[in-house]
Structure 1
Amino acid sequence: MKKYFVQKSPFVVPTSDGKLIEEHHGIPTTGNSEISIAHMIAPPHWSEPFQTPEFDEYTYVISGKKQFIIEGEIVTLETGQSIKIEKNTRVQYSNPFEEPCEYIAICKPAFDFMKVHRED
């Protein structure tokens, strides 16, 4: 039995806001509820509602910039930078800039729509 798994077919999460989400490891792809790893591209002028997730989220920016509003503080990550946002923290993710933002997101435990608590 192999002690590794090469992900060749990530799950592309359907979106209506132009954002690309390719989940490589997590609940819908590998059944792993301990961690999720996703490759994402947020288009220019993209944003999503505030949320208070029940998981830690790590973000590494591959290219472009990404904005976070964390407990009321605006933080901008640029290419090559990363951040950890602790669970139960109110946050909004956005790309208010003119270029796409490509990044990797890691959630521990895994991303779960039932535990993200997005605001209306």
Structure 2
Amino acid sequence: MKKYTIQNNPFIVPTTDGKIIKEHFGKATDGDSKISIAHMKAPAGWSEPFQTPEFDEYTFIINGKKQFIIEDEIVILEAGQSIKIEKNTRVQYSNPFTVVCEYIAICMPAFSIDLVNREE
């Protein structure tokens, strides 16, 4: 039995906001609820509602910039920077800039729409 898994066919999460989400490991891809790893591309002008996730989320920026509103603080990350946002923290993710933001997101436990607690 192999002690590794190569992911050549990530799950492409359906979206309606132009964001590309390719989950390489996680609940949708391999059923693992402990961790999810996704490759994301957020288009210029993209944003999503505030949320208070029940998971820690790590983000590593590959290209472009991404804005985070964490509680009441605005944080902007650029390529090569990373951040950990602890679970049960109110946050909003956006790309108010003029270029696509490409990044890796890691959630522990795995991302689940049931755990994200998005505001309407």
TMscore range, shorter length: over 0.9
What secondary structure is seen at the aligned counterpart in 1 of 2:29? Answer: helix
Inter-partner Cα distance in structure 1 for 2:115 and 2:47: 19
Deviation, structure 1 residue 10: 0.1
2:23 matched residue in structure 1: 23
Match in the other structure for 1:79: 79
Match in the other structure for 2:108: 108
CA RMSD of aligned residues (A): 0.3
Q: Which runs of 5+ in 2 are unaligned?
A: none
Q: SS at the partner of 1:29? A: helix
TM-score, length basis structure 2: 1.00
Cα distance in 1 for residues equivalent to 2:53 and 2:114: 9
Identity %: 73
1:10-89 correspondence runs (5 A): 10-89=10-89
Once residues 74 and 28 of structure 1 are traced to their aligned partners in structure 2, the CA distance between those partners, rounded to angstroms, is 31
Moved over 6 A (4+): none
Partner Cα separation in structure 1 for residue 72 and residue 50 of structure 2: 11
CA distance in structure 2 between the aligned counterparts of 1:8 and 1:78, rounded to whole angstroms: 27
Amino acid across the alignment from 1:87: K
Structure 1 residues without counterparts, runs of 5 or longer = none
CA distance in 2, matches of 1:64, 1:5: 29
Q: CA deviation at 1:86?
A: 0.1
With structure 1 as the length reference, what TM-score do the two structures score? 1.00
- 2:42 is aligned with what amino acid? A
* Secondary structure at 2:41 match in 1: strand
2:100 and 2:17 mapped to 1: Cα distance?
13
Aligned length: 120
1:91 aligns to what?
Answer: 91
